[in-house]
């Protein structure tokens, strides 16, 4: 009888050893299943909303690849250029033009798109406005404390030039403008071809609610490539 009992106790030893392992596999499997069914994506969505830009790898530079281009600013003879031609469409963050206004000693790179980082680097063209050389209203702005500090000195009749790698475009200042920052009239799409340059109105200090600038009408369009290449 005693031997039988000892044999029974010996036979339960593997059960004692294997049971924890089997329970581990069983409960581990249940947990994995529960996790796969848990609505964690709701939490993730809320966190993404809550942290906004701060949860992205890069904030203002997220997806922004700033590209500087060598742009020739020497005027080309008329014989080498065409009135219509191919426009090289820039990507957001690309410096694709140089803005020049000799009357106020201004020469500044123009970036496609507007954000704080690009505004620190030069003038910025609103991506909702017409690409330089295309038809419509091309809108460019810069900080009044830096590149456009002398913009208010541009007078009607002054010449403004835009140099790109696909052509050179000359404008003449038509009128000085002043508008409220909420007023989008001067920045909206226009049927005529024009260039609008604006900046903040200088005030005591700090950001202003008023915007000042000029709008210019085109004088000449000189493309490097003929129209059929467009």
Place of tokens 């992205």: 56
47 binds another protein (CB under 8 A): yes
* Structure token digits, residue 7: 């044999």
What is the enclosing helix (H) or strand (E) of 10?
helix 2-11
Nearer to another protein, 28 or 156 (CB): 28
CA-to-CA separations, 61 to 53, 128, 197, 215, 217, in angstroms, rounded: 10, 19, 25, 30, 34
Q: What would the x/- binding string for another protein be over residues 136 to 175, using CB under 8 A?
A: -------x-xx-----------------------------
Q: Tell me which of 27, 107, 165, 178 binds another protein, using CB under 8 A.
A: 27
Site for another protein in 167-226 (CB under 8 A): 203-207
Nearer to another protein, 27 or 165 (CB): 27
What is the enclosing helix (H) or strand (E) of 109?
strand 106-112
β-pair type (194-200, 137-141): parallel
Dist CA 174 CA 107 (whole Å): 20
Which residues, 6+ apart, have CB-to-CB distance to 99 below 8 Å? Answer: 106, 107, 108, 109, 110, 123, 140, 160, 161, 162, 197
Q: Tell me which of 18, 28, 38, 188 binds another protein, using CB under 8 A.
A: 28
Query: Which phi-psi region, left, alpha or beta, contains residue 103 (left: φ > 0; alpha: ψ -120 to 50)?
Result: alpha
Q: Tell me which of 19, 44, 165, 178 binds another protein, using CB under 8 A.
A: 19
Contact range with another protein by CB under 8 A, out of 25-33, 101-109, 183-191, 214-222:
25-33
Nearer to another protein, 147 or 186 (CB): 147
Dist CA 148 CA 128 (whole Å): 21
Q: What would the x/- binding string for another protein be over residues 112 to 131, using CB under 8 A?
A: ----x--xx-----------
Count of residues in contact with another protein, rule CB under 8 A: 41
Q: Tell me which of 18, 23, 91, 188 binds another protein, using CB under 8 A.
A: 23
Contacts to another protein by CB under 8 A: 1-2, 5-6, 9, 15-16, 19-20, 23-24, 26-28, 30-31, 46-47, 49-59, 62, 116, 119-120, 143, 145-146, 203-207
């Amino acid at each position: 009888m005693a031997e039988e009992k000892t044999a029974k106790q010996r036979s339960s030893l593997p059960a004692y050893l294997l049971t924890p392992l089997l329970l581990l596999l069983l409960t581990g499997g249940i947990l994995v299943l529960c996790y796969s069914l848990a609505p964690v994506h709701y939490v993730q969505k809320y966190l993404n909303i809550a942290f906004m830009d701060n949860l992205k790898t890069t904030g203002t530079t997220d997806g922004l690849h700033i590209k500087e281009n060598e742009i020739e600013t020497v005027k080309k003879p008329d014989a080498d250029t065409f009135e219509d031609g191919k426009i090289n469409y820039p990507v957001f963050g690309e410096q694709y033009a140089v803005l020049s206004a000799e009357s106020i000693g201004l020469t500044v790179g123009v970036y496609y798109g507007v954000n704080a980082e690009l505004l620190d680097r030069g003038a910025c063209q609103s991506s909702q406005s017409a690409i330089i050389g295309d038809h419509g209203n091309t809108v460019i702005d810069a900080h009044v404390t830096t590149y456009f500090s002398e913009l208010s000195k541009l007078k009607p009749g002054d010449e403004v030039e835009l140099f790109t790698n696909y052509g050179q475009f000359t404008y003449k200042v038509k009128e000085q403008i002043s508008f409220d920052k909420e007023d989008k009239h001067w920045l909206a799409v226009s049927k005529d071809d024009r260039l609008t340059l604006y900046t903040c109105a200088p005030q005591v200090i700090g950001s202003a609610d008023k915007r000042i600038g000029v709008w210019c009408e085109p004088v000449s369009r000189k493309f490097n490539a003929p129209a059929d290449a467009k």
